[in-house]
Amino acid sequence: MATVTKTTATMHTGRSNKGHRRNKSGPRANGSSGRMLNDSAMTSARQNSTQTNKKYRHFAAVHSKLKTSCLSADAEASPSFLGFRNLMVIVLVVSNLRLMIENFMKYGVLICLRCHDYRRQDLLLGAILYALVPCHLFVAYIIELVAAHKAKGAIGRSKKTEDTNQSSEARQESDRREFQSAWILIAFAHGLNASLCLLGTTVVVYYYVHHPLIGTICEMHAIIVWLKNCSYAFTNRDLRHAMLHPHQSSTLPEIYSECPYPRNITVRNLTYFWWAPTLVYQPVYPRTARIRWTFVVKRVSEMAGLSMFIWIASAQYAAPVLRNSLDKMASLDITSILERLMKLSTISLVIWLAGFFALFQSFLNALAEVMRFGDREFYTEWWNSPSVGTYWRTWNRPVYHFMKRHIFVPLMGRGWNAQAASAIVFIFSGVLHELLVGIPTHNLIGVAFVGMIFQLPLIAVTLPLERMQGKNGKIIGNVIFWVSFCLVGQPLAALLYFFAWQAKYGSVSRPQAVPS
């Protein structure tokens, strides 16, 4: 037994010595890797020990700093609402899908294309109008070509007079009168051309185009081209004046030096303005370096999807609600009209928001990308408007820029006060809105015009709220804007124009699904 024990001890001792010898040779073979492994193991052990100790410390200070709820007004940073946006989209999709399934179960059809009165004459006239209206822009180009030739002739005669020392007051007065008479003729030609553009389309749509959607597209196109015509004429008039009076050319924007007047009077320059997503003419616009076709495909896909959603929501929800309101409107049942108005306000708001995104975010950005148009501020944060006036300055920037540049600022320059100039702007805008809604529906009842005029007292009421110190006034102003716009404005206008259409022509389509 003793022998066995001794032998075992000797074996262990031998192994230990061998291991010791291996450890001695280890540093020479592996360098610093052994030390690194040992240090890593020790560090890991310390971390595990520290984590184990922290795990059971019940006295850790959880509340150590001043913090606010992320939705509070005094929060340091605004939270992201991406999740709420996704939830809103899901709720909209599910609610409309439920309505579509219900209508399909009841009537066996989702949208009846044959039910709508798409007349062949409407399609033909719409196509002709859409092709002819842009021709007025090229008539404006010819007028400006003549005006530029006249301006060059005036400059040439002025230089010739100076060179031959034949300057006299009579000669200068004759040249001035000749130029003024030429400009009066040019202004008259521009006015006649632009008026025929809008007047011709308006007459054809009102008397010969029955379907309101086709009429709306034609009328909107004519209004856009008319506004572009006006901007083209006004801008070139001032550029021509600056050329004839060189001391005033220093006030021109620096960007215009890339294409000075009259080098901008070309078909190519006008064609770019025709397609550019703006209503304000400039000889030069900021341009991007290249076209991102992936961006264009995304925006076009958004526009197509939203257009389909608007069509389905209008047919499945808005149109039935409008039809169910006819008897209430005829009998002047105020309580029922208010109930229908509130029910219509939800879907009209959803359709309007979808249309806003499809037009201003998707379509205009896609068009700007194709045209390499650099300034894409087509809207700003109008949904946070603290007053009605801020909303009209931020939600449709192309129209706002036109109104400010060609109506508001010129009136202010002629001595008008801001309130009077704003009134003229809203009267002008009210006429355009009435044309855009009343002409295609064949009912010039003045609702759109009165609605625009009614914005003036709303602006006066909400302006002091916007200027109040703190956020309470701005919140109240924003609530007034949303209530007046979404609960009263759009739904009431839709009810009145639909009632006027039905009273004049009857149903535009055969009865479809009527949700309860």
Among 449, 445, 446, 453, which residue's Cα sits nearest to residue 432? Answer: 449
- Residue 349, C-beta contacts closer than 8 angstroms, at least 6 positions apart: 486, 490
The answer to whether 210 is a known catalytic residue is no
What CA dihedral angle connects 309, 310, 316 and 320, to 10 degrees?
A: 170
Catalytic residue among 149, 247, 433, 442: 433
Secondary structure (DSSP) of 174-200: HHHHHHHHHHHHHHHHHHHHHHHHHHH
Count CB neighbours of 244 within 10 A. Answer: 16
Please calculate the CA angle 226-232-237 and round it to the nearest 5 degrees.
130
The answer to whether 500 and 489 are in contact (CB under 8 A) is no
The pair of structure tokens assigned to 505 is: 């022509």
The pair of structure tokens assigned to 298 is: 């995304």
Please calculate the CA angle 235-241-246 and round it to the nearest 5 degrees.
125
In whole angstroms, what is the distance from residue 414 CA to residue 95 CA? 54
Give 449: exposed, middle or buried? Use CB within 10 Å, 0-12, 13-18, 19+.
buried
Among 505, 509, 495, which residue's Cα sits nearest to residue 326? Answer: 495
The answer to whether 479 and 419 are in contact (CB under 8 A) is no
Could you give the residue numbers annotated as active site?
Answer: 433
